[in-house]
Each structure stands twice: as structure tokens, then as C-alpha cells.
Amino acid sequence: MNLPFKVNERERKFLVIGGIAVIAIALFYAYSWYADFKKRSDDAADAKSIMLEKQLKRISEKDAVEKRFNELRQELEKQEKAVLQGDKPPIAAAALSNILREAASSSGMNITMERTLNPYDVHYYLAVPVEIGFTTTTEKLKELLFKLRSSSFLLTVSEIKIRVVNVSNPVDTFTSLIVTGFIKKPVETETDSKGAAKARKNDT
């Protein structure tokens, strides 16, 4: 390299070494800047990935909650359709009686005994039991029980008693069933609440 001024060999060496040092320092700063830039870029990419993962998790959780909510709503609607018609136990008992008589009649049976039992609470519903009695064969009894189980209404057989009519010829049996249907529990009004509270107070 030709310089515009004269330098001796020793000065030339110092200039070369100085130039190399300047280049090395420039390269060091350039590498440090690139390393810092890359680190910040990687950190930003990681943070963005974490944020996207959290957002996807929230979306999936929201979808799961909505799905469960829809399932519960459908189950509730199904249960609402399965309860007996009528907002009072006597009306519901009459509706249940008609269901039982129709089921028995379609199986060729005649109900000879019937009585309505006291209703009782079952969480958000009132259970309305009806007891019926009839003479039938074992096969027809099985047919009736299957019809009650597959009914569109929510019905349970809470008690069954069977007595042979003729011991010497045990074909027909007298059967009594307690079949329970359900209605929505009536909403207690403010007046009803005050009346119930007053009654409890008078009892004490």
C-alpha cells in the first residue's frame, strides 16, 4: 500500500497493527450489536409465542365451557319435557293416572285399585306417587313395566308387590305398583314465604 507520506518500516508496522485493531474493534461492536439484536428478537418471538399459546388456550377453554353449557341446557330441556303436566300435585296425579291407565289398557289389563299418595320434595322437583293394583299374568306385567320405563315422561317404580291369586294355578297374580312422576316445584312467592315464616313462629 502506497502512503502519501514517507514512513519507515517500524512506523509501517504500527500503522498495520493499528488498522487491524480498529477493524477488530469495529467487528466486535458489530457482533455485539447483532448478538443483542438477535437476543431481543428471539425474546420477542418467544413472548409472542407464549401470548399466542395463552390466547389459544383461552379460546379452547371458552369452547369447552360453551360446549358443556349447551349440553347442560339440552339436558335441562329434556328433563323439562319429561315432567308431568300441571303445576300442582293433584293435577299431576290425575295426569299420571291417565298415563298408567292407558299403558295398562294397551297391555290388556284393568286397574281395579288406585290411590294418590303424598307428594315429597326431590331437589327442584316435587315427586307425585300414585299406587295402582291389577290382576295380570307375569308376561303382561313385564310388558307394562317396559312401557313405563320407555315412557317419554320421567317415571319411576318405587315399589312393587305381587301376590298369587290361585296357589293351585299360579298363572294370574295381583300386583300393586307405586309409580312416581315429577313436576317442577312451584316458585314460592314473597307472600307464601312470609306466611310460612309466620306459621313457624306461631308453632314456637
All cell numbers assigned to 85 = 303436566
Tens digits of residue pLDDT in 31-43: 666 666 566 666 6
pLDDT category of residue 45 using cuts at 50, 70 and 90: low
Maximum CA extent, the chain: 143
Which amino acid does the sequence have at 194? Answer: K
Question: How would residue 98 be classed by pLDDT, with cut points 50, 70 and 90?
Answer: very high
Phi/psi for 122 (5° steps) reads -135, 85
CA dist., res. 138 & res. 54, Å (int): 63
Kindly report, residue by residue over 130-184, the tens digit of the pLDDT.
Answer: 999 999 988 899 999 999 988 888 899 989 999 887 777 777 889 999 999 998 8
**Residue 156: Cβ within 10 Å count:** 13
Q: pTM value?
A: 0.55
Question: What's the one-letter identity of residue 33?
Answer: W
Phi then psi for 88, rounded to 5 degrees? Answer: -130, 145
Q: What is the three-class DSSP state of 164?
A: strand
For residue 28, pLDDT over 80 is answered with no
Q: Are 173 and 185 in contact (CB under 8 A)?
A: no
pLDDT computed for residue 5 by the predictor: 47
Query: What is the crossing angle of helices 138-149 and 89-106, to 10°?
Result: 130
The CA distance from 189 to 67, in Å, is 34
Picking from 201, 56, 172, the residue whose alpha carbon sits closest to that of residue 112 is: 172
Q: Are 137 and 173 in contact (CB under 8 A)?
A: yes
Domain boundaries, the chain: 1-82, 89-184
For the domain with range 89-184, which CATH number is right: 3.30.70.60, 3.30.420.10, 3.20.20.70, 3.30.70.890? 3.30.70.60
Nearest-angstrom CA–CA distance, 106 and 153: 17
pLDDT at 57: 73
